[in-house]
Structure 1
Amino acid sequence: MKTTATYVCLILSIWCMRLNAQQYQMRNYSVKEGIGQSQVFSLLQDRRGYLWMGTRGGGLTRFDGVEFTHYTTKEGLVNNYIYKIIEDKNGNLWIATSGGISYFNGKSFINFRNTGNLSDVFDICLDSHGTLYAATGTGLFQLHVPKPFVKIASVFEKLAFVSEAVYSVAADRNDKIWFGTAKGVYRLQSGNKKDLFLSGRYINKIYCDHSGKIWVGTYGNGLFYWSNDKFRQFLPGKFPEMKEVYEIYQDKKGEFWFGTLSQGIYRYDTLTKRITNIREKDGLCNNHVRCIISDREGNFWFGTSGGGVCHYFGMPFTHYDRESGLPGNFIYSVFADKKKRIWAGTSNLGIALLDSGKFKTFGAENGFINTKVKSILEDGSGNYYLGTEGDGLYQMKFIRSDSFHIQKIKLLRNAFVRGMCLSQDGSIWVATAGLGLYHLEKGEKDPENLVMSHYTEAEGILSNRLVSVCEDGSGNIWYATESNGVGIFEKGELKHHSTSAVLKNIPLRSLVMDRLGYLWAGTAGEGVYCWKPGEIPQISAFRERNKQLTSQNMYLIAFDTKGNVFLGSESGLDYIELDKNRKWISVKHYGKSEGFLGIETCQNAVAEDVNGNIWFGTVNGLTSCNPAAFTKNPIAPALGLSGIRLFYKNISQTTFHSSISNWGEVKLLDLPHDQNHITFDLRAISFSNPGNVAYQWKLQGFDPQWSPESRQNYVTYSNIPPGDYVFLVKARNSDGVWNQTPLSIPVSIHAPFWQTWWFRTMIITILAFIIWIVFRARFNTLRKKAREAETRLILDKKVSDLEHQALRLQMNPHFIFNALNSIQSQIGEQNEQRARYYLAKFGRLMRQILDNSRKQYISLKEEVETLENYLLVEKFSSGDTFDYEINTDPNMDMDFIKIPPMLLQPFVENSIKHGFKNLQQRRGNILIEFRELEHKLICTISDNGVGREIAQERADSEGESYHESTALKVIRERLMLMDPGNAEPKIDIQDLYSKQGIPCGTKITIEIPIS
């Protein structure tokens, strides 16, 4: 099919801007990030890895890559306006300030202020003998530092032959002291002599390089160096703007860095003799540079006056944004053409072309299309194809360098182009979102016209909504759908690849073929998939490794010349090192902290230029990456402790603070048993990538093996048993380099006194004695119980005998004979009903007596019922010759009170048998009363009989037995058995008399213990 188009010819009138990219990727730290003040005049990395910053007003700031710690006059610093920080051989700090000098040993400050006019101290240095020299506003001072340092014996001595203000001081390799004033440079000689050089120059800085050469930075006269016994100007006339030099520094590679008043930094390569100027436009935070250092990992730090500190990573990224000349920061598409030019579709609805250090912009203002360009491609003839967002596909041809033709391909007029691919035969494949796949070929007769083929779901593709298209080494075309898997044109035929089933319903964003023939599919939230067509029948997702990615949300995929892969996401780049089988070796993340300033990448906005550089489109601009500059950091983190906590309380606030030395070092952590909850706060400093430091630890003697790798910077051990241990910890940097020697901290937990040998011996002795005592007590108890059991047997036998005696007393044969005889007489008198009644009462009485005889105790209620039946039968047997009455206290619980059975009946029987016998003048009467008094039952039996004396006389005269004495004896013994520990039970028998003294009855009172 031929396409027709309208050609528009325009004279190229394009606005060009000179390239102004950030060639040096830097991260800036100032007050907002945590520095005490924005003017940083001195920088130092100590042997523990900390970075110290001396500010003009904010005191001293310490930085470990993550946290800032401040030291000001509140913490003991002599003055908050700092000029210089140095470290002595013992690792302690000397700080020169506007108010004197402070000495810091890691815990406290020792200050020297206004001693011999020691006030404004601009610079300090130490010679090899430990002598400290101070450049002040009133001259040069020296201090012979004793070992160990003692303030009382330490006094600064002013060198009398130097009376003017000294701004810089340095010691060379031969311990010659050089100092600079407003009049020039002086060199001290023996005998208080001095040599003057560079007379009339105002000296800002004196520096001794690695070879021992002296360099001098001046105010207004540039830079000088010492050679052949005289000073020579550095590159005179070549850099006239480099006049005010405040800092001189030589790095580990031998290159020099010069900080200036207003021209930023000059970098001098001693091998190539090349000088590079770094200013604010290149990423420097301020052009007034006061100090420069490189840390132990090779990173550079620049202290400025007003801009804080710049951290230069040396990373291989170059960033471009609006300030660099881009018309917009949002980059939708990127393409590298054959002429080494970079094309970028921007948020300004046009294209930016980076050509020979200049940005050329194509937009509506110069006749270009006014829409988003989502994909760019160059064909074999040098024509450019621009895929847009909803405005179809355009073809662009350059007539000359200053003019171009642009035409719209009508059949793709409203297409949303998502990707394009130039195949080996020169044809173009276009993936769209909604219109399927297009194939553009040049006509055989008219190459200027395009023949187009269109494939949709009707023709057999998986979906009309595509996200990407690419070609493999065999010329097969692969396309990725939004959510229906991956399809293939194999030798011109549409096929559904086996991977489609795996990738179906997984949202895809990109599809790329690498140099080894592996296909890579980036997804929205499912990570990345990789497979090789024809060799691996099923897709391999590397799911177990996806957890190492910063994000599972893939926007783009790109490969460097080594075959390693870049994965772009909303969090930056993940760079994955692969082996030849595409197995993952390592993953490293690049975000803002690592120099990738664009951070969030745009979908499929990536291209590789002819030099192997990879260009990334981001939401914050365009970034170029040189993968060849990637190097592994061979320096392990500087490892130490930032603190120790006992039960969540800092050890410095406890009585065990002496375990910690001045700089937080621990020789031995010696603790009692009740301080066995320890937290070690870990500190591993790696400024190259502080967020990717990881630890492993082990408490030797407690942990069987090293802990898993963790980014957690503290570890807690609780309930540590008494014993001797060694806490070991090691750390790795972002490239997996571990400390060769772990940090070792001995820990001793003392045993409590109850776990010592002497205490255990004492306890064993005491236990043995207690066991003997218990055994003896048990033996005595058993013996006592045996005696008690024997006594109980005897007692039980006696109780049984007494109960049998009581039963015999109750079952008096005479009583039984009389009762039965009376019942028989009733039968003889034909009084059958009365006979039955008393026979029933008699039978019940016998049952009660027999039942009660089997019990040791019965209730008072049962005893009263038995007495009533007995009295009723006796009254019947005696011919109704007496009356009776039984009274009980209504407040008593008769069911609750227990007494021995057959206890009272003998007394009642005696009253009837002997008291009422031959009683002629009155009718007999028996009164029985029960009441409770002081946990005892008081029973009273009263009769109005003839009395004991007359009854005894009659019994004797008639030859009858009077068994009161026997019954009384049995009752007493039974009561004694109820309460064996008390005195003899009380049974009171009282004779009753009339007013005339005639016996008229008997009263018996019995106290029964309540059971």
Structure 2
Amino acid sequence: MRKIHVAKHSEKDMINKIFLAFIFGLLFSKYAYNQENNFKYEKITTEISRVEKGLSQNTVRNIFQDSKGFIWIGTWSGLNRFDGLNFKIFLPDINNPTKSISNAVINALAEDKNGFLWIATESGLNKLNTRTFAIKSFNEIAKPFYKNHSDTIYSLHSSSKYLWIGTHKGLVLKLNNKDSFFVPKTFVNTKYIADKEIRSIVKFSANQLLLGTNDGLVIIDINTFQIIKVIRTPTISSNSILSLLKIDESKILIGTENGLNRLDINKMINKVIKLDKNSLPYNPDLIMAMIKASDSLIWLATSGKGVFLLRNIAKSKYSVEKLKAENLNGNRLTEEIREELYYYSLLKSRDGTVWLGSAWSGIFKLVSDKNIFEGFQKSNKGNGLSDNQIWSFYNDGDKLWIGTQKGIDIYNKTSHKMTHLTSRGKIGYRFSSNNIRSIFKDSEGHFWIGTFQQGLNKYFPENGRIEVYLPEAKNSHFVADATVWKIVEDKHKNLWMATHNGLQMTNLTSGKTIVFKHNPMDSTSISNNVIYNVYFDKQGFLWLSTFDGLNKFDTKTYKSIIYKHHSANKKSLNTNKIFAIYQDNSMDYWIGTIGGGLNYINHKTNEITSFTTKEGLSNNIVYDIIDDNFGNLWLSTNCGISSFNLKNKVFTNYTVSDGLQSNEFNFGAALKDNFGNIYFGGMFGFNVLKPKDIQIASNNLKMLISEFSVNNGTTIYYVLPKETIRLNYNQNSFSIRFSLLDYKNPNKDIYQYKLEGVNNEWKTANSDDPLINFYKLPPGTYTLQVKGLNSLGVWTSDSKYKIIIKDAWYNLLWLKIAALLVIAAILFMLIRNRIKRINFEHESEKQLLELESQTLKLQMNPHFIFNTLNSIQSFILQNDVDKSISYLSKFSKLMRLLLINSRESNISLESEIYLLQSYLELENLRHQEGFDFVINVDENIEKEFIGIPPMIIQPFVENAVIHGLLPLKERRGKLQISISQEKNFIKVNIEDNGVGRNYYQENQQDKLHRPSGILITQKRLELINTQFSDKSSLKVTDLKDEQNNSLGTKVEILIQFTNIDDD
């Protein structure tokens, strides 16, 4: 955090102030009239040019600034809080009278030592908590003490012990620490207080309080409550007092219904002050309000005659001046302040802004027109500037040199005289041209003056002699080009000149001159001959800004390192046309370009970052760069002045509305003098900026939270600095509104924030309404950091607020422990059940393996093998070699496939179909082609990627052949196998036209016997079903005709399948 130290005024500071004051008042014609009554003007009414509401009503009865900086405005219909951008309005609520103000007419406002705002109304007193906006009303507070009492309250005054309350019928006191009221007997028993309207209460001394009533001025002792003195007519002009103001230790101003009085209380000498020549009995001066703007300036608001300014009113010689529209600068509404004559209230806020509360036209806000930029132009009176076009500056001790379009103006800070140097005069004592572009004083005390297209001039101040250097000169008075933009000197007495045709070095001792130009054959030569600027950095390198690139020039080797724009490199310069060069305290470089804005070069990495209008720069042509020593770079551009904060990387832009001579400035016309003042010259004069004064004026600058709203409900309207905000778990959505309480130019303010844990980068809030929202943040501790930039270009220090969002009740520790125990118990049960499940699955797999082994044994039973071998033998004996070889080959493939499949838990459907095909071919061959068979597979089935248990279909096929088809006598046997897919199942239909199950059961010897293969396969299916949620199934149907004769058997199998990879 940057600390700002305000030093005592030294002799150097005093010289600086005298210098600036003199040129402000005598030598230059300021285009902004710089007196105490000169203001920028803004009107605030019920309708303003923003979406937000304006004032609740336009009759402004009182204006008050609280200790936090908020402006409170009491009107004929409602109370308003104003933070510079937004209004909060308070009105009576008939549905909730105890929690709203008791009456809409606000007569007076005061703040007690505890920070509560007290509101005096036409019917009752109100206490407002400025943090929560909670209101407590007090009615008929005078009733217990005065026989004739009133609930109308006119005035309030807060002291260390009491709140003094002036009512329509007497004075009431309240203890600061209690909401209890009392009235001293001395007040009740005196006619000067009881039954009197107490309109104004002012502390005059440590022991004295002044009461302005409708029947004179009453002076009371604060401690004893005794009446010290009563002052009435004819001592003062009227007993009906409207306002009071202390002006020094002995004098007060008394505003009455019949004029203004200046009373010396100690001497009891009164002076009636007439505001104008029409101050006659039939046209009295009604003094409604008064404020002290300074020791010498008083503001008066009248009802009927407008606003007046009183100067040196405490002295015998004073002046009275009416505030007029011509005192207000550049506002189209200024005529309204001339026409408005009726005012009720005044305030000078802590930033110097004057607020005029009118009777019917709202508030006139007058911002003192002391711009941060002092402007100077040519004057037709006196010995001022020669011309408004300013091209260069040079600071020479107590002299300021100013290069203009019509010669050089030299201002002597000691004698306050201006000297003009021009091209007029005899030869040898006049410049080659008045069109000045550069001024430099060498180490020998001579001045070098560069002109535009008319050569270089060497000026000898001791005798006024001038030597002219031209490009066509054949002698030592040679210069590389007739236009010389900039001149600097190194420690070896070499002058380095930026010209329009190369870089020139001239040694002051020897007179030797070298001109460096671009050589396309030498990459280390300067990049371009048009050189605008020469600048020595802290390492001694000479930097050249040219029309085609930036050059880092080594004055020892005469070689350059060139920086240029490269489209393929985003970290290069964004343009080759360069004006300004500056090296900051971090040794990094800042480059002002023609069209590319501001470029930053990191001296460690040489990486370049650009800042243009997209980042907030006022214009992409940057003429000059000046460091203000307070962490800001000030840039003169082709569209105003931009301030760039080096820490926050934020621009603040200034235009003619901020006091600039013009929005257009000139290259080379920039200077920081020995006092730290910054000068920028342009086409219509020049501006002076005093960064030190800006920092002093912003010493009390602070950023605050003006509204903290939770879930669009509960709202805090002021959050204390470093306060911890505690929220419940269901209050995790909230909005925050900021304020700088900047009343001068709030639309230029910039607000930044970051909520650590949510966004760790600084973000910028909307300047028109700095409101940010956070939604559904998880419980935890957050740190909100906020900072602001005011209209003067000064940053506040970072303000930090801790926000704690509590966990929900169900996240409490004991509840978490209980929940963990329950979860542990559930996990134990799940694990135990899982173990049981694993054991069951293991046992099922074991049984499944046994069944698969039994299936294999059935497939490889001796009977099948014996019959097969007999068939092969028969073919051999019949000398049928082809059939025997074919049969033997198929038999071997079948045996090998059975063995391979028996090792797998799942095989492809393709493999199972091949096994079936092989088996049926062997059986058909063995039985002399005794039956026909066909296997139909749905073409949409990807057989190679579908996995099923091995040998799950074959037993049913074997049963159909052996027990269905082979016993068939009267018809040829047929077997049809159909395979399709239904969701996660393979559906297999095995249909034969054999003898049927009844024939088999009637002709077998063991009636209870069932084929072993089918029984084993059924058990396998049952075990498989334990592994899947979707169940496999088996259905056997006897096929019969109408006479119940057997037509065969149909077996339907649904088999759960798995996917197998193609690899």
The alignment's TM-score, normalised by the length of structure 1, stands at 0.61
Question: Are 2:954 and 1:899 equivalent residues in the alignment?
Answer: yes
2:365 alignment partner AA: V
1:195 and 2:230 are equivalent in the alignment: yes
1:407-453 deviation line (CA, Å, top 9, x unaligned): 998975xx855356799999986533334335689999xx99x8755
After the TM superposition, which residues 597-612 of structure 1 pair with which residues of structure 2 at under 5 Å, given as runs? 598=661, 600=663, 602-603=665-666
Query: What is the rounded CA distance, in whole Å, between the counterparts of 2:526 and 2:418 in structure 1?
Result: 36
Q: Which amino acid aligns with 2:112?
A: D
Task: Report what 2:69 is aligned to.
Answer: 49
Name the CA distance, whole Å, in 2 between partners of 1:670 and 1:717: 15
Amino acid at match of 2:706: S
Residue by residue over 1:262-316, the C-alpha shift from the partner in whole angstroms, topping out at 9 and shown as x without a partner, is 56433449899987979555558768786555555x6353436467122338778
- 2:928 alignment partner in structure 1: 872
* Conserved 8 A contact 1:105-1:662: no
Contact 2:582 2:625 in 1 (8 A): no
Partner of residue 701 from structure 2, selected from 617, 631, 637 = 637
Q: Is the 8 A contact 2:42 2:365 kept in 1?
A: yes
Q: Give yes or no for the alignment of 1:303 onto 2:356.
A: yes
- 1:331 pairs with 2:388: yes
CA distance in 1, matches of 2:140, 2:277: 40
User: Following TM superposition, by how much is the alpha carbon of 1:807 offset from its aligned partner in structure 2, in angstroms?
Assistant: 0.7
Kindly indicate whether the alpha-carbon contact (under 8 Å) linking 1:972 and 1:985 is maintained by their aligned counterparts in 2: no
* Alpha-carbon RMSD: 7.2
Aligned to 2:200: 168
Give runs of aligned pairs for residues 139-158 of structure 1, distance below 5 A.
142=172, 144=174
Q: 2:115 aligns with which of 91, 100, 105?
A: 91
1:23 and 1:283 in contact (8 A); partners too: no
- Aligned partner of 1:972 in structure 2 is 1011
Q: Distance in 1 between matches of 2:513 and 2:1010?
A: 120
Using the TM superposition, give the Cα deviation of residue 774 of structure 1 relative to its aligned residue in structure 2, in angstroms: 2.3
2:564 — aligned with what? none
Deviations along 1:875-897, one digit per CA (max 9) or x if unpaired, are xxxxxxxxx6658799999x999
Distance 2:228 2:658 in 1: 51
Q: 2:217 aligns with which of 182, 185, 209?
A: 185
- Corresponding residue for 2:43? 30
- Larger RCO (CA within 8 A; separation ≥ 6): 1
Query: Could you say what secondary structure the match of 2:245 adopts?
Result: strand
Q: How many residues align?
A: 853
What per-residue deviation string (whole Å, max 9, x for no partner) do you get for residues 736-755 of structure 1?
A: 89779x66545242157357
| Cα pair distance change 1:889/1:796, threshold 3 Å | closer
- Asked whether the equivalents of residues 71 and 77 of structure 1 are also in contact (C-alpha less than 8 Å), the reply is no
Partner of 2:309: 265
Could you tell me how far apart the structure 1 residues matched to 2:491 and 2:511 are? 17
Larger Rg: 1
1:745 and 1:984 map into 2 onto residues whose CA distance is 71
Partners of 2:965 and 2:973 within 8 A in 1: no
Q: Confirm or deny: 8 A CA contact 2:721 2:800 kept in the other structure.
A: no
Contact 2:30 2:377 in 1 (8 A): no
* Rounded Cα–Cα distance in structure 1 between residues aligned with 2:692 and 2:1037: 123
- The correspondence for 1:750, drawn from 807, 811, 836, is 807
Q: What amino acid does structure 2 have at the position aligned with 1:227?
A: I
Amino acid at match of 1:257: I
Alignment of 1:493-572 (within 5 A): 493=511, 495-496=513-514, 541-542=583-584, 544=588, 546=590
The verdict on how the C-alpha distance between 1:343 and 1:134 changes in structure 2, with shifts beyond 3 A counting, is farther
Equivalent pair of 1:21/1:321 in contact (CA under 8 Å)? no
Q: Deviations over 1:236-277 (max 9, x none)?
A: 7999999775544457x8666343555643344989998797
The 1-side partners of 2:662 and 2:121 are apart by 40
The CA distance in 1 between the partners of 2:974 and 2:737, in whole Å, is 90
Q: 1:71 aligns with which of 85, 89, 100?
A: 89
| 1:428-443 alignment runs, 5 A limit | 430-438=449-457
- In structure 2, C-alpha distance between the alignment counterparts of 1:318 and 1:99, rounded to whole Å: 50
Which residue is equivalent to 1:404? none
CA distance in 1, matches of 2:808, 2:378: 69
TM alignment of 1:230-629, pairs within 5 A: 230=268, 232-233=270-271, 246-250=288-292, 257-259=298-300, 261=302, 264-268=308-312, 279-280=323-324, 293=347, 295=349, 299-303=352-356, 305=358, 308-312=364-368, 331-333=388-390, 373=406, 376=409, 384-386=420-422, 393-394=423-424, 417-418=436-437, 430-438=449-457, 453-455=469-471, 461-467=479-485, 479-481=497-499, 488=506, 490-491=508-509, 493=511, 495-496=513-514, 541-542=583-584, 544=588, 546=590, 596=659, 598=661, 600=663, 602-603=665-666
Give the deviation of 1:732 after TM superposition: 9.3
CA gap of 1:904–1:735, structure 2 versus 1, over 3 A, is closer
Q: Among 727, 734, 738, which residue is 1:671 paired with?
A: 727
**TM-superposed deviation, 1:866:** 4.2
Change in CA separation of 1:498 and 1:641 when aligned onto 2, cut-off 3 Å: farther
* 8 Å CA contact 1:44, 1:52 repeated in 2: yes
What CA distance in whole angstroms lies between the structure 2 residues aligned with 1:795 and 1:612?
Answer: 100
Match of 1:206 among 244, 249, 267: 244
Q: Does 1:927 align with 2:972?
A: yes
* 5+ residue gaps, structure 1: 1-15, 152-156, 347-371, 387-392, 398-406, 578-582, 645-649, 825-834, 874-883, 913-923, 953-962, 994-1001
Match of 1:774 among 831, 835, 849: 831
Indicate if the aligned counterparts of 2:29 and 2:377 stay in contact, CA closer than 8 A: no
Cα deviation, 1:848-882, whole Å, max 9, x if unaligned, reads: 55655666676766565445434438xxxxxxxxx
Distance change in 2, residues 1:907/1:631 (3 Å)? closer
User: Alpha carbons of 1:183 and 1:687: their partners in 2 closer, same or farther (altered >3 Å)?
Assistant: same
Q: Give the counterpart letter for 1:168 in structure 2.
A: S
TM-score (norm 2): 0.59
Cα contact 1:210–1:250 (8 A) shared by 2 = no
Counterpart position of 2:568: none
Q: Secondary structure at the match of 2:861?
A: helix
Aligned residues of 1:417 and 1:433 also touching (Cα < 8 A):
yes
Aligned residue number for residue 960 of structure 1: none
Q: Judging changes above 3 Å, is the alpha-carbon distance between structure 1 residues 263 and 135 closer, same or farther for their aligned structure 2 residues? A: same
- TM-fit CA distance, 1:800: 0.8
SS of the residue 2:69 aligns to: coil
Deviates more, 1:327-336 or 1:971-980: 327-336
Mapped contact 2:296–2:312 kept (Cα < 8 A): yes
Structure 2: how far apart are the matches of 1:931 and 1:716?
74
In 1, Cα distance between equivalents of 2:869 and 2:535: 125
Q: Distance in 2 between matches of 1:521 and 1:948?
A: 112
Letter in 2 for 1:976: L
Q: For the Cα contact (< 8 Å) 1:509–1:554, is it kept in 2? A: no
Name the CA distance, whole Å, in 1 between partners of 2:832 and 2:795: 68
Note the C-alpha offset of 1:692.
Answer: 7.3
Q: Distance in 1 between matches of 2:439 and 2:1050?
A: 122
Unmatched segments (≥5 aa) in structure 2: 1-27, 94-99, 142-147, 182-187, 280-284, 519-523, 561-580, 591-597, 601-610, 612-616, 899-911, 944-951, 979-986, 1023-1032, 1056-1063
- Provide the C-alpha distance between the structure 1 equivalents of 2:936 and 2:526, rounded to a whole number of angstroms: 97
Q: Is the 8 A contact 2:470 2:482 kept in 1?
A: no
